[in-house]
Amino acid sequence: MSRSKLAELTADLEELRTVRKPAIASQINVARTRGGTDDNAETELAKQDLAFVEGKIRSLARLIGNAVIVDANPDDAESPDAVALWRTVTVERENGQQARYQITGSLEADPAQGRISHVSPIGKSLLGKRPGDVAEVQIPSGKTKLKILSIS
């Protein structure tokens, strides 16, 4: 993952640990004082929220603990005209429409924003290609071709 994604996940984890979890614990205490713990819907809801937050904390902590920072490959600097991780590529589809994609790690991918994973079918097919090359991609609706127009 990128350094910025790691920082974002670390900030999320910190907020869950220091803000959300204590707030939910406080809600549970307030709910208990209002009506005990038996058949108290407010307490049960807060307990469910706490369980969700604790699960999210464990998940984020595991993700951060196993994170590998992937910077731009120094070897890619020698080939600035080739599609590589963290680069943006403009392609032309078979129908003449153009699209721009930033090649990212899996966690940063957001196809609606033009960020595609390097392990996605399109991402994999574009890696290493240069302007003028044509990438053939297997997508759910069949095979398509993408002509690389530019890389930045």
Q: Is the pLDDT of residue 139 over 90?
A: no
- Tokens encoding 22: 């204590």
How confident is the model over 62-91, as a mean pLDDT? 76
Q: Are 53 and 20 in contact (CB under 8 A)?
A: yes
Q: For the chain, first and last CA: distance in Å?
A: 20
pLDDT above 70 (res 73):
no
Mean pLDDT of 113-128: 92
- pLDDT over threshold 90, residue 74: no
Q: What is the mean pLDDT of the chain?
A: 86
* Segment 62-72 mean pLDDT: 78
Going from the N-terminus, what domains does the chain have, and what CATH number goes with each?
3-65 (1.10.287.180), 74-151 (3.10.50.30)
Query: At residue 106, does pLDDT exceed 80?
Result: yes
Residue % of the chain over a pLDDT of 90: 54
Q: Is the pLDDT of residue 78 over 80?
A: no
**Mean of pLDDT values over 93-97:** 91
Q: Indicate if the pLDDT at residue 24 is higher than 60.
A: yes
CB 86 within 8 A of CB 102: yes
Can you point out the beta strands (E) in the chain?
Answer: 88-93, 98-104, 115-117, 134-139, 142-151
Whether residue 63 has pLDDT greater than 90: no
How many other C-beta atoms are found inside a 10 Å radius of the C-beta of residue 129?
A: 20
Question: What pTM, to 2 d.p., does this model score?
Answer: 0.64
